[in-house]
Amino acid sequence: MNITVAMLIYKSPAYLDFVVNSLIEHPSKDHNVNYLIVCNDATVDVILQAEKWSRHPGVRHVVHENENPEDWWIQNVYNAWNRCLAETKTEAICFVNSDMAFTDEWLDALAFYDLDKFIPTSKLVESGRMPSLPGLISKNFGQTLDDFNRKEFESFARGISRPAVQFSCGAYMPSLFKTSTLKNIGGWRKNTGAPGGGIITPGDRITFGLLKDQGLRHVCVGDSIVYHFQRGESAESGDL
């Protein structure tokens, strides 16, 4: 299968380097993979670093400018995820965050599942900066790039990895989709509700709900282990 792994970046060249290096160091054994960097209302430093990565085989970048960069930030994140989707020509697309570290065969474990029936997502180990969703693990292996203990995390990941799934729990990224399926529902939805108060329904939940209505089940994959710094790029950029 041909897969595009897509990520957003906006303010930290260091996180861009970290995540792309982690992806390249943990390649797929079974699939053809390319990497897409979307610079989302990004700083000049980020764009210049993304241009350097585009010289690497299998990596490309695009610069995305939102119509209203002052809009509620999460809405422009969804705009940029949809730019990722529009740029993707491969059969499948996997979305990852800018503050994640990967493990061996994380993507192959997701791709094991039938994308006409399932939305497979990775089992996250999270830093504890924020509470974790059900099905995930909160264990601090570092909340900053300098503090990250890769060796201990990867040892822990090997110890908990299991070829099993949990249904209807876990995170929304990393997530693997058949590209046409996501395009057919119009891509990622935005949050509904007011950012300053009231009931807010996340766009992730809306999108996964629409796919559930079409018969796709959200599964958290027990042998796709990924570390999540939790808002790492924004925290280390002073923009939390």
Q: How far apart are CA 75 and CA 79, in angstroms?
A: 6
Both tokens assigned to 40? 């989302």
Segments making up each domain of the chain, as ranges: 2-236
SS3 of the chain: the string is CEEEEEEEECCCHHHHHHHHHHHHHCCCCCCEEEEEEEEECCCHHHHHHHHHHCCCCCEEEEEECCCCCCCCHHHHHHHHHHHHHHHCCCCEEEEECCCEECCCCHHHHHHCCCCCCEEEEEEEEECCCCCCCCCCEECCCCCCCCCCCHHHHHHHHHHHCCCCEEECCCCCCCEEEEHHHHHHCCCCCCCEEECCEEEEECHHHHHHHHHHHCCCEEEEEEEEEEEECCCHHHHHCCCC
- Rounded to 5 degrees, what angle do the CA atoms 97, 101, 106 make? 90
Average pLDDT, the chain: 93
Local confidence band at 237 (pLDDT 50, 70, 90 cut-offs): low
The two beta strands, 59-64 and 32-40, are parallel
236 band by pLDDT with thresholds 50, 70 and 90 = low
pLDDT given at position 240: 60
68-120 pLDDT tens trace:
888 888 899 999 999 999 999 999 999 999 999 999 999 999 999 999 999 99
Give the class (CATH, top level) of 2-236: alpha beta
* pTM beyond 0.75, yes or no: yes
Q: What are the tens digits of pLDDT across the range 149-183?
A: 999 999 999 999 999 999 988 999 999 999 999 99
